[in-house]
Amino acid sequence: MTLKPITITLDQTYSNKIRVIQEAISDPTTYKMIVEGLLDTGYANALKTLHSAGRISDSVLEQGIQELPDYLQASFDSGNPLGPHKL
């Protein structure tokens, strides 16, 4: 897969929101890291929503869970119809 750079222009309000998020994180972090974390969280929520609505299969859910960071994979352990994941 070829990675294609994406540029996102944020207005002052969204830029300020990212700065507030950045201040709340104790470890040094970049805008890129924050945006990636937000996308991972949104992706996890989308997987849960689509699966509970029957719009994606168990196998698609499982593949999606494997693409998430460990801390978000753990959020599927409780209440997930597929049971705990040992990835």
- CB 47 within 8 Å of CB 75: no
pLDDT for the residue numbered 86:
41
* DSSP 8-state class, residue 8: -
**Span 65-83, pLDDT tens digits:** 999 999 999 988 765 545 5
pLDDT for the residue numbered 68:
96
In a domain, 56, yes or no: yes
Q: What residue numbers bound the domain in which 54 lies?
A: 28-76
Based on the structure, what is the number of domains in the chain?
Answer: 1
pLDDT for the residue numbered 87:
34
**Span 21-61, pLDDT tens digits:** 999 999 999 999 999 999 999 999 999 999 999 999 999 99
Q: Is 79 left (phi over 0), alpha (psi -120 to 50) or beta?
A: left
Q: Is pLDDT above 60 for 5?
A: yes
Q: Torsion angle, CA of 35/39/41/46, rounded to 10 degrees? A: 160
In a domain, 85, yes or no: no
In a domain, 6, yes or no: no
